[in-house]
């Protein structure tokens, strides 16, 4: 499994729901998907980032206080706070680029976990941010699509470099 990198068109597709949470799929999540994220030093990994356009992701923020580890299948965002926070983000699919992104401070979400159980929970702060970043991947969106004009200028040359690299390799 390799990480799909910007501007690969597979990162821009709206992903389809997972139809069935089979034993095989659970095993894949825990034994292949999550370890790949850790191996790449990521805090989150969404299916489109390995070329699978289905609605699932995992994340692990346990390095921070109140950090959590989650496997998320067919997520829904039930509500998100009007109160926003701005913080620097990066992404395994947009290597070496970091920029500040404004997102809701709190979200209420619903999803199936790696055991196939339906979960509903409130997330806030960094946990909410990582969830929303990964959720965006399922919508075909990257954090670089959410930048203010000022932040956008900062990452422009880096993005051009990634486009050049992609063109040379494909």
Give me the residues that bind Zn ion (CB under 5 A), please. 91
Helices (H), 21-124: 23-28, 34-39
Minimum Å gap between C-beta 125 and Zn ion is: 18
CB of 46 to Zn ion, least distance (A): 6
Residue 130 beta carbon to Zn ion: minimum distance, rounded to whole angstroms? 9
Looking up tokens 């109160």, which residue turns up?
A: 83
Q: Which is nearer to Zn ion, 14 or 118 (CB)?
A: 14
Q: Between 11 and 29, whose beta carbon lies closer to Zn ion? A: 11
Distance of alpha carbon 42 from alpha carbon 129, whole angstroms: 14
Residue with smaller CB distance to Zn ion, 24 or 41: 41
Residues recognised as catalytic: 134
Please state, in angstroms and as integers, the Cα–Cα distance from residue 81 to each residue in 77, 108, 148, following that order: 11, 9, 19
Distances (CA, A) of 120 to 43, 76, 100, 112, 136: 21, 9, 28, 9, 19
């Amino acid at each position: 499994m390799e990480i799909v990198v910007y501007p690969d068109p597979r990162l821009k597709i709206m992903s389809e729901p997972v139809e069935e949470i089979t034993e095989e799929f659970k095993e894949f999540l825990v034994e292949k998907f999550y370890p790949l994220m850790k191996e790449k030093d990521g805090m989150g990994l969404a299916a489109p980032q390995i070329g699978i356009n289905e609605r699932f992701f995992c994340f692990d923020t346990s390095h921070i206080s109140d950090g959590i580890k989650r496997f998320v299948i067919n997520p829904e965002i039930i509500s998100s706070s009007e109160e926003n926070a701005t913080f620097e983000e990066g992404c395994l699919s947009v290597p070496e680029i970091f920029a500040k992104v404004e997102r809701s401070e709190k979200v209420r979400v619903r999803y199936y976990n790696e055991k196939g159980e339906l979960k509903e929970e409130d997330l806030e702060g960094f946990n909410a941010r990582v969830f929303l970043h990964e959720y965006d991947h399922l919508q075909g969106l990257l954090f670089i699509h959410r930048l203010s004009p000022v932040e956008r200028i900062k990452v422009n040359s880096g993005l051009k470099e990634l486009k050049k690299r992609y063109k040379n390799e494909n």
